Amino acid sequence: MGAAMALAGSTTGMAIAIVPLELTANNLGGWTGLVIFLAIFVGFLCQPIARRMSNNQALAIGFVLIPLGFFILIAGVWLKMLALVLVGTCITSSASYGFTYLAALAEISARAPDDRARATAGLFVYAYFGFSLPVIASGALADLVGLLSAMIVFAAIQIAATAGIVMVWRRLPAQSAITLDAK
């Protein structure tokens, strides 16, 4: 669960910190506020859908949407198409704050009912680790190779990390099938 939250956090961090730099470079800096708003808000709109799913279903959807949304976001930056940037941002937000966040939080709560506060705090350590360190590294890389190139490198690492997390996740013993709404 922690690795999934780190992955989701890193993608949201890229949408909030790195994408606005590219928008500004393309004379679209006036759209930065909307991108940041969408990067956070759209995920909350998806939470009612995620609540009707099992944790595993919601997490699986998050694993698909995180790289898909970022791919669309990169395509928008590359092609200088604001609509794709906005759609990609919405998809990554739904994956991060909608499906992945809710599934991970519910699963951690179910697995540690007697120590929820500590388990939840641990989960957020992963989320903030993902939200900060990969974004800082991408910013440093962007100084060397450019923003778009740094985003592409991030996407490649993101896809590899997603594949690795999914392989480990699928090998774990059967996990909770309880719906998120039941908690």
> pLDDT (tens digit, 9 = 90+) per residue, 42-63?
999 999 999 999 999 999 999 9
* Alpha carbons 161 and 166: distance in angstroms, whole number: 8
pTM: 0.86
Do 157 and 35 form a contact (C-beta atoms < 8 A)?
no
CA distances from 101 to 75, 111, 123 (A): 25, 15, 10
Instruction: Give tens-digit pLDDT for 68-88.
Output: 999 999 999 899 899 999 999
* Alpha carbons 29 and 181: distance in angstroms, whole number: 39
For residue 11, how many C-alpha atoms fall within 13 Å in the half-sphere facing its CB?
A: 40
Over range 160-171, report the average pLDDT. Answer: 90
For residue 4, how many C-alpha atoms fall within 13 Å in the half-sphere facing its CB?
A: 29
Based on the number of CB atoms within 10 Å of its own CB, is 131 exposed (0-12), middle (13-18) or buried (19 or more)?
A: buried
Instruction: Give tens-digit pLDDT for 93-143.
Output: 999 999 999 999 998 988 888 999 999 999 999 999 999 999 999 999 999
Over range 22-28, report the average pLDDT. Answer: 87
2-182, CATH topology level:
Growth Hormone; Chain: A; (1.20.1250)
Beta-carbon contacts of residue 55 (< 8 Å; ≥ 6 apart): 103, 106, 107, 110, 175, 176, 177, 178, 180
Beta-carbon contacts of residue 142 (< 8 Å; ≥ 6 apart): 18, 21, 149, 150, 151
Q: What is the pLDDT of residue 177?
A: 46
CA distances from 138 to 158, 175, 176 (A): 12, 34, 35
The token pair that represents 12 in the structure block: 């949201």
- Looking at every residue in the chain, the average pLDDT score rounds to 89
